[in-house]
Structure 1
Amino acid sequence: MTTPAPAGVWIITPGHTPTRFPSARASGADVALVDLEDSVPPAAKPDARLTARAFFTNPLPADTALGVRISTPTTRDGILDLAALAEYPDRPQIVLIPKVESPRDIDIVAGALDTPDHAPHLYALIETPRALENLPAIVRAARIAGVLFGTADYATATGCSKAWEPMLHARSALVASAAAAGIPAIDSPFFDLDDLEGLRDEAERVKALGFAGKSCVHPHHLDVLTKVFTSTGEEIAAARAIVAAAENAGGRIVRVGHQMIGPPMVQAARSLLARAAARTTQEVTA
């Protein structure tokens, strides 16, 4: 993969409602996905596969990467989704693969969609206990670009609630495995559409855990998520100061403001600056 995997704020829109496509594409989210899986009723899936191709037609939005969530690739619907995607004249930049439980699921999608001219970013949707058990192998799949956590299906599979405490272990394990593999982790949507304070609280908590972004299913949540996951000017300035001080210190521990700065803080500052630079590059080149 020659370009960084997209992170930040994701919005997901149903594939059988093309009237929503323009607003999703123009939402300003870092990633907009058209969904062929859970949000599409079974009877509407054949039409959705045809309709969704319009989501990727030119002109492409300036600041938003476009992708698709397919059905589970080992099911009939997943196979039909992959066959349809392979024939799209304009290809998605991202493919989100649900119910991933082994590297094989990613290999199947790569085998179906990769061509000499195009290889989409493949994100694994982690939403079952078995997936959590197999995370060390999943995150090291040859073609994986990132992971996304699915709280709703995980809560159903384990019999727990979607509240913060029951989800904390799974979220922490996901972030740790993704960090070990050097790939981004994106958090699940927040499902109470009107509780913006709850959304902000959860978004700030998952960012503090190490998630690189969070998804949503309604434009009403975009403003809050964008504010949480976009580095502020003050954060960027502080990161630049840390990196500059470290470079001038020749590897020694150094004080910046009220903090003693060592290698882990310097690496975190460099990562923040790299993400900010990648976002700027995407905006300029899109």
Structure 2
Amino acid sequence: MTAADRIPGPSILFCPADRPDRYAKAAAAADAVILDLEDAVAPADKAAARGHVAASMLDPEATIVRVNPVDGEAAEEHRLDLAALDGGRYRTLMVAKVKDPAQLDHLHQAGYRVIALCETAAGVERAFEIARHPAVVALMWGAEDLVASMAGKSSRFAEGSRAGQYREVARYARSRVLVAANAAGKVAVDTVFMDIVDLDGLRDEAEDAVASGFAATACIHPSQAEVIRQAYAPSAEEREWAEAVLAEAEVQPGVFRFRGRMVDEPILRQARRIVG
């Protein structure tokens, strides 16, 4: 992965594009902010929201704009989103409900970097193809839109011993998007945790995300951003181990035993990621 393929993280905070009063606070709270022109903005307010985004002066390296889907009923909104952004400072787009890599061709031609949201049955099914599109720098998945695209009711169990846990279809989509992104050498972004007050639940999911191979997690409230950042940060013990095993590798070529564990190149790659 080159520097141009990377996105800021690990905490990425959504901010409604029709609330310019919140832009600076959101940008300060997280590693990156997503100015959302799609679901967070009512149809009647989208034109004003586009104007607010176009006039804003956030750091373009840490700002993502979520635009409306390329096709369907929102196609005209997508066209208007791009018209408002044309020639502007923001060059990284999060594209909602991507279903086909060909939908991103016009964005590649315009020089945009794309975070493709695989949040429908079609998008999840074609995640591997979407990840390989030249405009794509990252994939993200979405649980509720996915379930809605299949006329389902909920992505999580509501009660019983599995209350709060994802249903199997959501777990499948999460894993598929994660593997697709990494197979293509792109970034994988985990979806939002909707229960704002349950910071322990968020921490558990963020820790699972980084352990599984996600590079970032999106969030919907400033209070969630620091929890995510802490979950992704290596512990003091992990950093000490990583530095020690890399030092040992300098004097032990090939596969070697370290603290009771066999160490080979995949283990060393893990250590290098921890050290940064």
Q: With the length of structure 1 as denominator, give the TM-score of the two structures.
A: 0.84
Residue 168 of structure 1 corresponds to: 171
CA separation in 1, counterparts of 2:91 and 2:237?
Answer: 31
- Counterpart of 2:195 in structure 1 is 192
* Separation in 2, partners of 1:231, 1:31: 20
Distance 1:104 1:125 in 2: 14
- 69, 74, 77: which is aligned to 1:72? 69
Separation in 2, partners of 1:243, 1:255: 12
Number of aligned positions between the proteins? 260
Alignment of 1:1-286 (within 5 A): 2-6=3-7, 7-27=9-29, 29-55=30-56, 57=57, 60=59, 65-74=62-71, 75-88=75-88, 91-111=89-109, 113-114=110-111, 120-158=112-150, 159=152, 161-163=154-156, 164-166=166-168, 167-251=170-254, 253-273=255-275, 276=276
Q: Distance in 2 between matches of 1:128 and 1:271?
A: 32
RMSD: 1.9
- Secondary structure of 2:189 counterpart: strand
The amino acid across from 2:102 in the alignment is: R
- Aligned residues of 2:108 and 2:134 also touching (Cα < 8 A): no
- Whole-Å separation in 1 of the counterparts to 2:55 and 2:143: 29
Do the aligned partners of 1:5 and 1:121 also contact (CA within 8 Å) in 2?
no
SS in 2 for 1:224: helix
Conserved 8 A contact 2:5-2:186 = no
Structure 1 residue 94: Cα displacement: 2.0
The runs of at least 4 consecutive aligned structure 1 residues that moved more than 4 Å come to none
8 Å CA contact retained: 2:114, 2:135:
yes
Amino acid of the structure 1 residue aligned with 2:107: V
Deviation at 1:2, TM superposition (A): 4.7
Unaligned runs of 5+ residues in structure 1 are 115-119, 277-286
Question: Match of 1:20, as an amino acid?
Answer: R
Amino acid at match of 1:42: P
| CA pair 156-261 structure 1, distance change in 2 beyond 3 A | same
How far apart, in 2, do the equivalents of 1:129 and 1:213 lie? 22
Q: What residue ranges of structure 2 are gaps of 5+ in the alignment?
A: 157-165
TM-score by length of 2: 0.87
CA deviation profile, 1:152-172 (whole Å, cap 9, x unmatched)? 201222315322243211111
Bigger mean CA offset, 192-201 vs 225-234:
225-234
Distance between the aligned counterparts of 1:133 and 1:263, measured in 2? 32
Amino acid corresponding to residue 271 of structure 1 in structure 2: R
Report the alpha carbon displacement of residue 12 of structure 1 after superposing the two structures with TM: 0.7
CA distance in 1, matches of 2:187, 2:125: 19
User: Offset of 1:93 from its aligned partner?
Assistant: 4.4
